[in-house]
């Protein structure tokens, strides 16, 4: 019998929402990254092998880097980058763009939910992540507005298991979902697609 692969999607705040901003050498940022890696390791022990990142700056990127580092020790792990549009990183600084491209090159698959930027492309990306995962791991400060909060609400509505990490205390709250499998498998081969609205390759 073929083993069912479980998938986890990430959501969380961009650097400007954290007290340290873009200073990733700050001890609080280093500590959060370490705690995030520990949770991803816990997920792998729970049978999760597929990880989906929307590749925004901040939590999405840190989580993607953690998966790549863990993949070096466990080849069963896969990173799937799910992007809202081609232009996501165009306004970022050069170092951030270089890191972004490096992660995409190392990912097991890359999917663009839309070709061009439009008003709802980030929302569509976030829903896509939830729909193709069993678990949502969120780094969330409790704000009711914003993409992270909306993604958590969508995951709850969709019956997904939700793990919420407090960015200050690193305590994790786990909410059991009513849907044990998402019913849609993440991609299994590496491919940077030109345009793939609403579907996985």
Q: Which domains does the chain have, with CATH numbers?
A: 6-175 (3.40.50.450)
Q: What is the mean pLDDT of residues 141-157?
A: 93
Asked whether the beta carbons of 148 and 138 are under 8 A apart, the reply is yes
Asked whether the beta carbons of 134 and 180 are under 8 A apart, the reply is yes
Q: What is the mean pLDDT of residues 42-51?
A: 96
Q: What is the mean pLDDT of residues 150-160?
A: 96
The three-class DSSP label of residue 175 is strand
What element of type H or E holds 161? strand 161-165
Q: 65-74: long-range contacts (C-beta < 8 A, 24 or more apart)? A: 65/103, 66/33, 66/36, 66/37, 66/40, 67/40, 68/103, 68/106, 69/37, 70/37, 70/40, 70/41, 70/44, 74/44
- The rounded distance, in Å, linking the Cα atoms of 89 and 68 is 20
- Identify the pLDDT of residue 201: 33
Asked whether the beta carbons of 162 and 155 are under 8 A apart, the reply is yes
**DSSP class of 108:** S
78-110 confidence digits (pLDDT tens):
999 999 999 898 989 999 999 999 999 999 999
The three-class DSSP label of residue 137 is strand
- In the block, tokens 């049978």 appear at 47
Exposed/middle/buried for residue 61 (C-beta within 10 Å: 0-12, 13-18, 19+): buried
- In the block, tokens 């019913």 appear at 183
- Identify the pLDDT of residue 177: 81
In which band, very low, low, confident or very high, does the pLDDT at 195 lie, cut at 50, 70 and 90? very low
166-190 confidence digits (pLDDT tens):
999 999 999 988 754 444 555 433 3
Mean pLDDT of the chain: 87
Is the confidence at residue 65, as pLDDT, over 60? Answer: yes
- In the block, tokens 């007290």 appear at 19
Per the confidence metrics, is the pTM higher than 0.75?
yes
- The rounded distance, in Å, linking the Cα atoms of 183 and 170 is 30
């Amino acid at each position: 019998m073929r083993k069912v692969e479980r998938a986890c999607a990430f959501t969380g705040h961009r650097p400007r929402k954290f007290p340290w901003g873009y200073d990733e050498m700050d001890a609080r940022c280093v500590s959060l990254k370490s705690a995030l890696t520990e949770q991803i390791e816990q997920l792998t022990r729970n049978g999760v092998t597929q990880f989906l990142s929307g590749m925004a700056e901040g939590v999405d990127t840190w989580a993607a880097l953690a998966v790549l580092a863990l993949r070096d020790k466990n080849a069963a792990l896969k990173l799937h980058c799910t992007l809202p549009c081609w232009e996501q990183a165009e306004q970022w600084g050069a170092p951030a763009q270089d890191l972004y491209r490096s992660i995409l090159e190392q990912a097991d698959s890359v999917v663009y939910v839309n070709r061009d930027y439009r008003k709802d492309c980030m929302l569509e990306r976030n829903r896509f992540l939830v729909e193709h995962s069993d678990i949502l791991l969120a780094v969330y400060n409790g704000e009711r507005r914003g993409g992270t909060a909306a993604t958590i609400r969508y995951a709850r509505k969709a019956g997904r298991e939700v793990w919420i990490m407090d960015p200050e205390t690193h305590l994790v709250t786990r909410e059991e979902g009513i849907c044990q499998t998402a019913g849609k498998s993440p991609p299994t081969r590496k491919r940077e697609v030109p345009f793939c609205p609403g579907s996985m390759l």
